[in-house]
Amino acid sequence: MMESGPITGPVVTDGIAGEANLRSADLSGVPAKPSPTAASGGIGGTFWRRFAFRRPLAALILQRLGLSVGLLFAVSLMIFGGIEALPGDFATTYLGQSATPQAVENIRKDLGLDRPWSERYLTWLGGAVQGDFGTSWASKNSVSEQIGNRLGNSLFLAFFAALISVPLAVGLGMLAVQFRNRMPDKIINVISLAAISLPEFFIGYLLIMFFAVQWGVATFPATVYDSMSLGERLSAIALPVATLVLVVLAHMMRMTRAAILNVMSSAYVETAELKGLGTFRIIARHAAPNAVAPVINVIALNLAYLVVGVVVVEVVFVYPGMGQYMVDAVTVRDMPVVQACGLIFAAFYIFLNMAADILAILANPRLRHPR
Amino acid sequence: MSDYKDYLTRQVMLGKMNRREFLGRAAAFGIAASMANTLFATSAAAQEPKRGGHLKLGLEGAAATDSKDPAKALSQFMFVVGRNWGDMLVESHPTTGAPVPALAESWEPSADAATWTFTIRKGVKFHDGKELTVDDVIKTLQRHTDDKSESGALGVMKSIKEIKADGDKLVLTLTEGNADLPLLLTDYHLIIQPNGGIDNPDAMIGTGPYKVASFEPGVRATFEKNPDDWRTDRGYVDSIELIAMNDATARIAALSSGQVHYINRVDPKTVSLLKRAPTVEILNTPGRGHYVFIMHCNTAPFDNNDLRMALKLAMDRETMVQRILGGYGKVGNDFPINDTYALFPEGIEQRVYDPDKAAFHYKKSGHSGSVLLRTSDVAFPGAVDAAVLYQESARKAGIEIEVKREPGDGYWTNVWNVQPFSTSYWGGRPTQDQMYSTAYLSNADWNDTRFHRADFDKILLEARSELDETKRKEMYRTMAMMVRDEGGLILPMFNDFVNAAGKQVKGYVHDIGNDMSNGYVATRVWLDA
Q: Give the residue among B354, B364, B351, B352 at the shortest CA–CA distance from B397.
A: B354
State the DSSP H helix or E strand holding residue B52, giving kind and residue range, or none if neither.
none
- Report helix angle A322-331 to A143-178, nearest 10: 130
Chain B nearest CA to A226, separation (Å): 10
Query: Which residue type is seen at B385?
Result: D
Dist. CA A298–CA A353, nearest whole Å? 10
pLDDT tens sequence across B342-387: 889 989 999 999 999 999 999 999 998 999 999 998 889 899 999 9
CB B292 within 8 A of CB B424: yes
Tell whether the model's pLDDT for residue A310 goes beyond 90: no
Decide if B64 and A325 are in contact by the 8 Å CB cutoff: yes
Chain B nearest CA to A219, separation (Å): 9
pLDDT for A355: 87
pLDDT tens sequence across A59-85: 877 888 888 889 888 988 898 888 888
pLDDT tens sequence across B233-263: 999 999 999 999 988 889 999 998 899 999 9
CB A366 within 8 A of CB A34: no
Mutate to test the interface with A, among B257, B413, B446 (most CBs of A within 10 A): B257
Side by side, the strands of the sheet bearing B290-295 are B329-331, B489-495, B290-295, B421-426, B371-375, B401-405
pLDDT tens sequence across A145-154: 888 888 999 9
pLDDT for A3: 36
Instruction: Name the residue among A102, A139, A146 with its Cβ closest to that of B67.
Output: A139
Decide if A100 and B445 are in contact by the 8 Å CB cutoff: yes
pLDDT tens sequence across A11-21: 333 333 333 34
Decide if A103 and B152 are in contact by the 8 Å CB cutoff: yes
Instruction: Name the residue among A98, A139, A208 with its Cβ closest to that of B152.
Output: A98
Decide if A315 and B246 are in contact by the 8 Å CB cutoff: yes
Dist. CA A46–CA B200, nearest whole Å? 61
State the DSSP H helix or E strand holding residue B472, giving kind and residue range, or none if neither.
helix B469-486
Mutate to test the interface with A, among B60, B65, B259, B273 (most CBs of A within 10 A): B65
Q: How far is CA B340 from the centre of its chain?
A: 10
Decide if A95 and B246 are in contact by the 8 Å CB cutoff: no
Number of other CB atoms surrounding residue A338 within 10 Å: 23
- CA B163 vs CA B143, B166, B173: distances in Å: 11, 10, 7
Tell me the whole-structure pTM to 2 decimals. Answer: 0.81
pLDDT for A1: 35
Percent of chain A with pLDDT over 70: 85
Top pLDDT among B42 and A102 is at A102
Question: Which residue blocks in B345-431 are alpha helix, DSSP H?
Answer: 355-365, 383-395, 411-414
Q: What angle do CA A45, A50, A51 make, to 5 degrees?
A: 95
- By CB atoms closer than 10 A (0-12, 13-18, 19+), residue B426 is buried
**Torsion angles phi and psi, residue A67, rounded to 5:** -60, -40
Decide if B250 and A150 are in contact by the 8 Å CB cutoff: no
Q: Considering only alpha carbons, which residue of chain A is nearest residue B445?
A: A100
Decide if B249 and A146 are in contact by the 8 Å CB cutoff: no
Q: What is the dihedral of CA B36, B38, B43, B48, to 10 degrees?
A: 140
pLDDT tens sequence across A263-272: 888 888 888 8
Q: Give the residue among A331, A303, A276 at the shortest CA–CA distance from A137.
A: A331
Could you give the 3-state DSSP secondary structure of residue A216? coil
Q: Where are the beta strands (DSSP E) in B160-200?
A: 160-166, 169-174
Chain B nearest CA to A11, separation (Å): 50
Dist. CA B71–CA B517, nearest whole Å? 21
Dist. CA B265–CA A12, nearest whole Å? 58
Number of other CB atoms surrounding residue B354 within 10 Å: 16
Contacts of A149 in chain B (CB under 8 A): 216
Contacts of B409 in chain A (CB under 8 A): 86-88
Could you give the 3-state DSSP secondary structure of residue B209? coil
pLDDT for B479: 96
Contacts of B145 in chain A (CB under 8 A): none
pLDDT for A99: 66
Cβ neighbours for B233, distance < 8 A, ≥ 6 positions apart: B14, B15, B16
Q: Give the residue among B67, B56, B69, B378 at the shortest CA–CA distance from B244.
A: B56
Q: Considering only alpha carbons, which residue of chain B is nearest residue A98?
A: B152
Contacts of A332 in chain B (CB under 8 A): 63, 65
3-state percent breakdown (helix, strand, coil) of chain B, nearest 5 = 35, 20, 45
Q: How many residues does chain B have?
A: 529
Top pLDDT among A104 and B126 is at B126
Cβ neighbours for A209, distance < 8 A, ≥ 6 positions apart: B253
Decide if A87 and B66 are in contact by the 8 Å CB cutoff: no
Decide if A213 and B256 are in contact by the 8 Å CB cutoff: yes
pLDDT for B38: 53
State the DSSP H helix or E strand holding residue B400, giving kind and residue range, or none if neither.
none
Mean pLDDT of chain A: 80
Instruction: Name the residue among B216, B253, B413 with its Cβ closest to that of A213.
Output: B253
Instruction: Name the residue among A88, A101, A138 with its Cβ closest to that of B67.
Output: A138
Instruction: Name the residue among B245, B416, B424 with its Cβ closest to that of A318.
Output: B245
Contacts of B249 in chain A (CB under 8 A): 205, 208, 316
CB B512 within 8 A of CB B430: no
Across the A/B interface, how many CB contacts are shorter than 8 Å?
141
DSSP string, B251-278: HHHHHHTTS-SEE----GGGHHHHHTST
Most confident of A25-39, A111-125, A304-318, B160-174: B160-174
At A2, the pLDDT band (50, 70, 90 cuts) reads very low
Q: Residue A237 gets which letter from DSSP? A: T
CB A296 within 8 A of CB A359: yes
Dihedral (CA of A139, A141, A144, A149) sign: negative
Cβ neighbours for A329, distance < 8 A, ≥ 6 positions apart: A136, A138, A337, A338, A341, B64, B65
The list of chain B residues with pLDDT below 50 reads 1-2, 44-45
Dist. CA B383–CA B257, nearest whole Å? 31
Decide if A317 and B219 are in contact by the 8 Å CB cutoff: no
**Torsion angles phi and psi, residue B425, rounded to 5:** -140, 140
DSSP lists the bridge partners of residue A135 as A142
Q: Give the residue among B426, B396, B417, B416 at the shortest CA–CA distance from B334.
A: B426
Dist. CA B492–CA B292, nearest whole Å? 7
Instruction: Name the residue among B63, B148, B249 with its Cβ closest to that of A328.
Output: B63
